[in-house]
Structure 1
């Protein structure tokens, strides 16, 4: 089941932040999301997915228990009604407008406040700041929204900032919110939106995510490809997890599977696509505070092989990667072949 299947947009309000004006234009009613608005529904669900799983997303916690945005959303959670939602939308919009007015920002745009339900039990407020000039037609007088077919779902470049804020999260989940800011240079923390407006800070780090991801990829790929030599799978995984590289798990899994799934396999591309999607979804389910994109941090200057119960330990530097071949014969024995150019001597101590 995909994120789109698991996501319901319960309410949405549309506001306008025009920094040339003295105040924000606030929604007077809830935007009707019904069967006739399939394109609009798809657009916002797509951006929810990008915010939750995207390469620019940060897992975060509120810095202060009295953070303004957190307090307002908690108050809404105690009185979930249309009037309460519109009040929340107004407060969140005015807060952002004031902060931007007092900053050097010139980035006007529309500001969408959505109440969403994920997996039938997790309630979130989803915030999107969008320049609606392409893909969305907004009537500023009536505050209505019209989707332009074949344009709206592709207008990713117009989405500036997004945040998913959990307000009934499980106690075993560390992240209070997920934040994306595409106006920041890739890889940077969204400081203005994150720190000033949301009053939040990033959690986790690339080293932890790298370690968890490598273990999960190794375990799952061996299970998915039982007929492939595990050493060959590990070589592909090792190549993908290059220290310092920015990776996306869906692309990485696709690459590893493409290396080893037989070209003659029936429905090969569909198999790879399904297994890739299944891996990403199960990874997020197991590590709900992680993102699927991060910078690899690992000490990977050596290749290491270890026998059961540590009876054998074999290590060599990646500088001679093409000089060492590890393979299995038909009886399952491990064959280590070292190029004759490498002078190998027994080390006696």
Structure 2
């Protein structure tokens, strides 16, 4: 399925200056020097970015008032009008660049660059690509064997991009449907988390088996930890991880209550667990809009259980699918924690 590029424009974000430097015309694809190589440069970046493991399937949030979605819709509506499309494409892409520059100025990100807005198609499906490319300097060896510094060079085809969105051109954007694919890699630990995905695009990652496997281990365990004594929470965690490691479809309604009910205080064991289930669901929906009450666990995303002292000087890891018959664990009345590992486990100290 070859990628066909039909329209392209670039705006400089200029976040260290007074404001974006906005193009007033599209790049003339027919007049490019070595057009085949130039277009291949962008096609390769699109292909590599789309296949990256960092790309998330997303939907626009706040559909009625979503700025980026509305600007893309204006472009889509003008696609069939040859006379007005280029003007609208230029205007709307400039508005998108202004929003990205403002979003960056209000974040901790200071990686200036250029925003390419590209209309392309794959197998008849149109996309609007938003690709942020960070500037770099390069060294060119001239014919006389001297060297020349080239400023503001675009990243080579071999380099990985950090910020890009590939927006599907659709007749209608509806809740819980795939609207776009987002690449939002962080360049440093100090960078504000996901400003590109959250603030600029105002989009949310759609729930899927892989990200729900990760999210349930975090959100459910955080909720349940407040409901159980440490010993019983540890047992719940063991049961939950073992249940996930079977790989069988998990539903909040059917599979959660049996894991926790007999671990609750005796006077609470007959309670309706719907409120706790609903709190878990609401916590998940805030991050993953859509259906989050059921998923098929992805085994590779199930983490080991970690038992750790409060000062982190002692740590024990137990695999989610560890055989229950190989060990027992318990808290004593004096607060001691006892982990007994039976001879069949054949314990050894790692070097």
Which residue of structure 2 aligns with residue 265 of structure 1? none
Output the CA distance in 2 between the equivalents of 1:135 and 1:117. 31
Alignment of 1:177-216 (within 5 A): 177-183=180-186, 191-207=194-210
Indicate which of 8, 31, 40 corresponds to 1:12: 8
The one of 78, 82, 86 equivalent to 1:82 is: 86
Distance 1:146 1:298, change over 3 A: closer
Q: Equivalent residue for 1:31?
A: 27
Shift of 1:85: 0.8
Could you tell me which of 162, 167, 170 is aligned with 2:169?
167
Q: Residue deviations 1:5-37, cap 9 Å, x none? A: 2x1111110111111211101112111224832
TM-score (norm 2): 0.51
| Partner Cα separation in structure 1 for residue 119 and residue 158 of structure 2 | 23
Q: CA offsets, 1:199-250, max 9 Å, x none? A: 000012344898xxxxxxxxxxxxxxxxxxxxxxxxxxxxxxx99xxxxxxx
Output the aligned Cα RMSD. 3.9
* Structure 2 residue corresponding to 1:101, chosen from 100, 105, 113: 105
Answer with 1 or 2: which has the greater Rg: 2
Q: Distance in 2 between matches of 1:199 and 1:108?
A: 21
Which moved further from structure 2: 189-198 or 8-17? 189-198
Query: Within 5 A, what are the aligned runs for 1:154-303?
Result: 154-156=158-160, 159-168=161-170, 174-183=177-186, 191-207=194-210, 296-297=300-301
Q: Is the 8 A contact 1:134 1:155 kept in 2?
A: no
Unaligned runs of at least 5 residues, structure 2: 80-84, 141-150, 214-244, 247-297, 305-320, 324-343, 345-351
* Equivalent residues of 1:206, 1:296 under 8 A apart: no
Distance in 1 of aligned mates of 2:137 and 2:158: 10
Secondary structure in 1 aligned to 2:89? helix
SS at match of 1:23: coil
| Distance 1:170-1:43 versus aligned 2 partners, 3 A rule | farther
TM-score between the two structures when normalised by the length of structure 1: 0.51
Q: Specify the alignment match of 1:277 in structure 2.
A: none
Unaligned runs of 5+ in 1: 138-144, 211-241, 244-293, 301-316, 320-341, 343-349
Cα distance in 1 between the residues matched to 2:12 and 2:163: 14
Q: Check 1:206–1:109 CA distance in 2 against 1; reply closer, same or farther (3 A cut).
A: same
Shift of the alpha carbon at 1:48?
1.4
